[in-house]
Amino acid sequence: MKKLSECRFHLRTYGCQMNERDSDALAAELLAAGMSRTEIESEADIIIFNTCSVREQAERKALGKIGITKKLKRDREDLIIGVVGCMAERIGSELIDKMPHVDFVAGTGKLHMIPEMIKDALEKRKKSVETGHDDSECAGLFGSLSRRSDSKQQTPSAFISIMRGCNCFCSYCIVPYVRGREKSRPMREIVDEALSLVDSGVKEVFLLGQNVAGYDPDSGRKRDPDASPFAELLEKLNSISGLSRIRFTSPHPADFNARLISAVLSLPKVCRSIHLPVQSGSDRILRLMNRPYSADKYLSIISRLKDSCPEMTFSTDVIVGFPSETDEDFLATRSLMKTVGFDNAFIFKYSPRSGTKAADLPDDVPISVKEDRNRILLEDLASSVEERNKMLVGRTFEALVEGPSKRNSERWTGRSDNNKVIIFDPCVGITPGDLLQIVITRSTATTLYGKILQ
């Protein structure tokens, strides 16, 4: 029998950036326990699936992959299979009932228990299931989040989780049920983590939370609706010398108040690119979604940002085919998207998630209509981005160098402050994290090409 420290783990991640971040933290925890990481599944002693529950499709994909490992385990009895994250939280012990080859199941609030669960599986062949949340465990998990310490290429950017869970209860969303209620991390702890990341060479931090604009480490204290603890956090991070950029995702429009708008506009390190999920342009559908803002309120946030900073770019999330969505509702979404001129949008066809309020509504928009609406929005988006990209040819941007391009390692990529990815030929001595002036020489609907200004 192998010892924990002799084991190699293979970690697969599904879903959102929060999950990526959890996987980074989990990898750090397993490395600290003495294990090593492998990207090659067949070399691994332990295969862990960090799963997502937000979309049914992501769950199906993960379940399919977990199912395939049954055969691997038949050939290698000592192989350990773990399922963690949102889907593990949602399904719990039923996962082992349905897939007896799985050894442990850990929900989003129990990731810190995984080394112990692996040890039990190794030494006692014991199967374990841990789900649920409580405050002390949440604090423990935050404490374990350090930096991107895995075998992936080090980049100049790092994620920092600033909160977990969500209190918003959008009617279609499973997150509050699987990630629990909002719990914000103390500000001092986040700043300390950013300082240590900067010490280790990180130039850009990406703040993560289900609703970062609702960040509130003193929750319970009655909050002034005009205050924004998240804006205070941005100010503190902005003053860290050596840190060049701050990004965040996702803020809820209902919490994007005047205080936060003014912080975003006035702090030079906060990037000129905001992801602001709108979900629908129809007020009626927004009410059904339990999203407490109107299309006008959403547009007023965008115009206040854009009027003061025309360079700012925006991205969003949209759901088409929500129960009872009419052509008129859809056209309201289409029109809002054209008004904003998003640079990116994640457009989803509605599908009910059991356990949510919206799952009680009839899923009455035919799939063919959902597909049409999805296609129309994607086409609108592609043509407007292509037009705007053309106008950038000849302009110069300061780009944070990310490293060799994934498609062609002879070319490198960098990212502008307003989140445009630029591909360029590297110069001698270039390293990830450099800030370079790059002039745009060519554009396509998806990509900008540029040349380093000497």
Contact set with ligand SF4 (CB under 6 A): 166, 168-170, 173, 175-176, 210-211, 252
DSSP state of 270: B
- Closest CB 89 distance from ligand SF4, rounded Å: 14
Exposure string over 141-157, b if 16+ CB within 10 A, otherwise e: bbeebbbbbbeeebbbb
- Closest CB 358 distance from ligand SF4, rounded Å: 11
- Which H or E run contains 402? strand 396-404
Closer CB to ligand SF4, residue 254 or residue 299? Answer: 254
Cis before 282 (ω within 30):
no
What the block records as the tokens of 81 is: 């299979």
What the block records as the tokens of 41 is: 């599944």
CA distance 386 to 341: 11
Closer CB to ligand SF4, residue 73 or residue 181? Answer: 181
Q: Which residues, at least 6 apart from 3, have a Cβ–Cβ distance to it below 8 Å?
A: 122
- Closest CB 51 distance from ligand SF4, rounded Å: 16
Closer CB to ligand SF4, residue 118 or residue 166? Answer: 166
Closer CB to ligand SF4, residue 257 or residue 405? Answer: 257
Map tokens 């509050």 to a residue. Answer: 176
- Closest CB 20 distance from ligand SF4, rounded Å: 16
- Closest CB 2 distance from ligand SF4, rounded Å: 39
Q: Which residues, at least 6 apart from 332, have a Cβ–Cβ distance to it below 8 Å?
A: 280, 281, 282, 283, 295
Closer CB to ligand SF4, residue 149 or residue 290? Answer: 290
Closer CB to ligand SF4, residue 37 or residue 55? Answer: 55
Helix (H, G, I), strand (E, B) or coil at 251: coil
Give CA angle at 303 (393, 325), nearest 5°: 100
Closer CB to ligand SF4, residue 166 or residue 243? Answer: 166
Phi-psi region of 148 (alpha: psi -120 to 50; beta: other; left: phi over 0): beta
Map tokens 């959008």 to a residue. Answer: 170
Closer CB to ligand SF4, residue 172 or residue 330? Answer: 172
- Closest CB 326 distance from ligand SF4, rounded Å: 22
Give CA angle at 284 (279, 289), nearest 5°: 45
Closer CB to ligand SF4, residue 169 or residue 346? Answer: 169
- Closest CB 280 distance from ligand SF4, rounded Å: 12
- Closest CB 354 distance from ligand SF4, rounded Å: 15
What number of other Cβ atoms are within 10 A of residue 382's Cβ?
12
337 half-sphere exposure, CB direction, 13 A CA radius: 32
Closer CB to ligand SF4, residue 176 or residue 352? Answer: 176
CA distance 288 to 71: 44
- Closest CB 182 distance from ligand SF4, rounded Å: 9
- Closest CB 176 distance from ligand SF4, rounded Å: 5
Rg of the Cα atoms in the chain: 23
Residues 38, 44 contacting (CB under 8 angstroms): yes
CA distance 227 to 258: 9
To 10 degrees, the CA torsion angle through 94, 95, 98, 103? -120
What the block records as the tokens of 205 is: 């931090």
- Closest CB 293 distance from ligand SF4, rounded Å: 11
Q: Which residues, at least 6 apart from 310, have a Cβ–Cβ distance to it below 8 Å?
A: none
Closer CB to ligand SF4, residue 251 or residue 432? Answer: 251
Sign of CA dihedral 300, 303, 307, 309: positive
